[in-house]
A and B are shown apart, each in its own frame.
Chain A
Amino acid sequence: MTVEVSELRVHYRTLRGSVQALDGASLEVGDGEVMGVVGESGCGKSTLGKSLIRMDGRMRHVGGSVRLGGEELPIADDRAMQRFRYHEVSLIPQYAMSAMNPTRRIGRMIRELLESRGVRYAEVRRELERRLELVGLGADVLKRFPIELSGGMKQRVVLVLSTLRDPSLLIADEATSALDVANQRAVAEALVQFRDRGFIGSMLFITHDLALVAQLADTVTVMYAGRSAESAPTSELLRRPRHPYTRMLLSAVPEVGTTIDESRQEGIPGSPPALLDPPSGCRFKDRCPLAFEQCATRPPFIEVASGHRVACWKAE
């Protein structure tokens, strides 16, 4: 199903005021599409993920909307969201692996989770085992404890569990970040395989790792300080980035095998603005080498080529 997030604004209430963690984030994911969501730490990626599934008590929906297959998701209404959660929209949270209860066998943990979501374990058990097999795990993992599994195995269990009801949208938040390259690849390929088999409709793949996005995402959205900066088909974004932030982000990643002596890369000077009191206009302006007067007003997020949107006054 298609997912349309438009101008979504979700703030955190804190003692010192509201943190404008999402403040005009927009993206469109086509049916069956994998979209990578990237951006520096704190740019609102996880807040976006959480907003689409469950807002915690401190989060407040301030504006904008989310549509799933044309239907508006009642994201601010915790009870109304119940119907969508897990069945239609499912999340692999950041740090899912370390959140596993070490004293519960995997099978029992899965049973409890399923039952808490109104799914009868006996009914899905065969499908569960079939899917575990697809990701290279035997049914005997159900009898094991989390500590007996490697990080890669645990993450595959989490993947199977979170997609057992064939959700229309899966949000994978840093699902492979703690893994070594071999396991990272295995889990990433399993995600794509699940999409190909129709177990997952569309996917938001949240990560820091642009090279990983290059491997599995059809499209990419780059976020900056709570807003969408650029969105495009993956190869287009990697070859012809238009937003200065995207360009700088890409040039901060060294090519594998090159060394500092051969080609020294540079990070982006400065740091993202505090979202408690963000600057007006383009939020990147303090760090942007191209900034000029007009950047004091917020640039619209507009289409510059087919499927390619940019929020920058200097992007044509």
Chain B
Amino acid sequence: MLTLDRVSKVYRVGTFGTQPLNAVRDVSLTVPPGVVVSLIGESGSGKSTIGRMVLRLTPVTSGAIAFDGRDVAGLSGHRARKGYYRHVQGVFQDPFSSFNPIFPVDRVFDMLRGAYFPGLSDTEWRASVRRGTERVGLDPGQVLGRYPHQLSGGQLQRLLIARALTLDIRLLVADEIISMLDASTRIDVLNLLGDLRAEGLGILFVTHDLALGTYVSDTTVILRRGAVAEMGPTRQVYASPRHPYTRGLLASVPRMHRTWADADAELDSAAGPCPVHSGPGTAGPVEVGPDHFVGCFSDDACPE
């Protein structure tokens, strides 16, 4: 469904835009229907840039992003783009900023109506909004018609997902959507993503939280400085992480019943040689097990 093929993004920074900043380097991945792919990385690792490129909020510098085999960058014309957004939507970190505080929350839905559902009658439209709201586990009577400040962050975040669901979406880009929520609300939103996944939705789940990213994800992608450090089936990456960076991150995740010091002790220092440099001289990640890829160990990603 969604394919990224050696996608890179270079921002120009500095006084005259003279310095290149390699925000994303040579990232390839796929998100099939009904699969959650977690993109995990620290701030500045390029994970949100990838989400933004998928949503066409910023252009790719090189490489290609395709949805159902069609190049996303090349969608020309209003109709083609609208068709794309009918299937691909994003939800972001701060739910409050997506709502206008002076209007009832329903307004975020209404903004879609003119563009996508001009033919629907008022009754049909309201029914569709209610259905979306129920699908995310909210009671429409409790949330619709209310103002943003009257609802919790978790409720607002679910409404934004509901809004995406009123369209015929097949891919959701969820960028740090749980980072501002507390533990109990987080798990509710994650469970919702799990349920939507079971209904066939593909999800690109962008997060800095290694602990929770895995709970719903089928595939885990660990990004470091814009490049894939490690990528594979979630279970595999957790059970036998190969990249020293992944291993370090896993040891830093705070756990309820294991101290950091114990985690360090478990982390045997022998991560093995860099598979990229000891392998057949490719630049990108090397397959070390079924669908399990490991990038270069050197600090500055692979030599370009």
A interface vs B, CB < 8 Å?
40-42, 150-151, 177-185, 188-189, 208-212, 214-215, 238, 248-250, 252-260, 264-268, 271
Contacts and interface: CB of A to CB of B under 8 A. Distances in A.
A227 B300 CA distance: 49
Given A181-B211, A257-B214, A151 B153 contact: no
Contacts of A177: 179
A267 B184 contact: yes
Nearest to A260: B194
A41 B252 contact: no
Contacts of B188: 267
B44 interface: yes
B183 A248 contact: no
A267 B208 CA distance: 21
A250 B184 CA distance: 9
Interface string B186-199: 11101100100000
B254 A215 contact: yes
Interface stretch (B17-25, B72-80, B256-264): B256-264
A102 B129 CA distance: 42
B62 interface: no
Interface in B236-268: 238-239, 248-250, 252-257, 259-260
Contact of A258 (B183, B215, B259): B215
A241 to B, nearest CB: 11
A248 B185 CA distance: 12
Interface of B is mostly: helix
B287 interface: no
How big is chain B's contact interface, by range? 35 or more
Contacts of B253: 181, 211, 256
Contacts of B212: 254
B252 A151 contact: no
A20 B249 CA distance: 40
A260 B215 contact: yes
A42 to B, nearest CB: 8
A185 B254 CA distance: 8
A253 B183 contact: yes
B255 A256 contact: yes
Nearest to A208: B182
Contacts of A257: 214, 238-239
B145 to A, nearest CB: 17
A249 B184 contact: yes
Closest 7 CB pairs of A and B: A180-B42, A267-B188, A211-B254, A267-B184, A181-B252, A260-B194, A185-B252
Nearest to B195: A260
Contacts of B238: 256-257
